[in-house]
A and B are shown apart, each in its own frame.
Chain A
């Protein structure tokens, strides 16, 4: 397989993950669409740089983040560190169980309202399953920074989840 073919197939294989990460970075699904498209084209241009077909996923994530930071964030409407509005909560797949939906929407909103550094770290580690070490390499920060960002994020999520679980239990009369 040529590097170009490998990159093309990685783009298709990981399109959902890159889009999801782009959504978490930008907070808006239209920006995520653009970011994914720009990431795919950039990756294809750089296919000659690929030396190993392993971990093309993290390579795509890194390209996506770098396009966001260097080219899109500045002109994006939402410049604030934390996303100020409740973004795109309708993206949550609707279950038949409304309590599950409320909980999922709550967690989604909490994650999206984290400061950007915590948000991208949570996405890479909790959602995409990268190790602390891998996330540290991708975000170019020490591993200790990854852990402290996650600790801070957990504290915020914990509060939100406890409230929410309490609400559900109360309403369910259990």
Chain B
């Protein structure tokens, strides 16, 4: 049913009989467009709004406990995020323009990881609920277990987040940790498909980060340190044992 502005205004001013008012209320309940029209015509709303909008004059003070996670300066962090995305674009563009050959997943993941700083991971919410969701999502994409119990108990590393990335249509999971100094360390897993060759552990410095890569059973794995000097110790053997396919 179509109501004229006059009819809607008469409703708002209380000048319609009960049946007419009911017809309008039913139409509003059925159709958000009628609701918007009616709200826009309401002569009372702006009057009341104007009276109340100046109250309170000053923002009231609130006592909040200090943040649980170490909080970086939000402004600086945003700037860092912008700088990081600009850097990603710049680096990707440079690589694309000068590419000697197509980059493999490990090189790409290392470039991405090299942009991480302690600030990037300082504020991540790694509550069990959050990790539950992330791991469920990541494992569903990947089609295999991520051995979360192993990842949560790596010596000297605090599990921060698992996130789903994509590399040429293949799910690439990045799991990030903070080391004892709060620096970011990552473990990546990519689904390469059943035909992919198995590879023994290979150590290399990629994009300024120490890395260890290996592959088996159609999955590729990579551990990335916080810098070129990171000396993988027991965590590498724990991971190669846990991710044998």
Contact = CB atoms under 8 A, between A and B. Distances in A.
A37 B67 CA distance: 16
A15 B60 contact: yes
A16 interface: yes
Interface in A66-115: 91-93, 104, 107-108, 111
A155 B11 CA distance: 11
A107 B51 contact: yes
Contacts, number: 115
A16 B12 contact: no
Interface in B123-137: 123-125, 127, 129-130
A127 B48 contact: yes
A117 B117 CA distance: 52
A92 B50 CA distance: 11
A11 B64 contact: yes
Interface string A105-131: 001100100000000001101110101
Interface in B10-46: 12-14, 21, 25, 28-29, 32, 35-36, 39, 42, 44-45
- The secondary-structure label for the interface of chain A is helix
Interface residues of A, number: 50
Contact of B64 (A16, A44, A144): A44
Nearest to A132: B35
Interface in B141-198: none
Residue from the set B45, B47, B48 with the largest chain A CB neighbour count within 10 Å? B48
Given A8-B64, A16-B60, A91 B44 contact: no
B137 to A, nearest CB: 14
Contact of B67 (A8, A36, A104, A153): A8
B52 A123 contact: yes
B25 A147 contact: yes
17 contacts: A4-B68, A5-B71, A19-B56, A20-B55, A32-B60, A33-B60, A37-B63, A41-B64, A48-B127, A107-B48, A111-B52, A122-B48, A126-B44, A127-B49, A143-B29, A153-B44, A161-B47
Interface of B: 12-14, 21, 25, 28-29, 32, 35-36, 39, 42, 44-45, 47-57, 59-60, 62-65, 67-69, 71, 74, 123-125, 127, 129-130
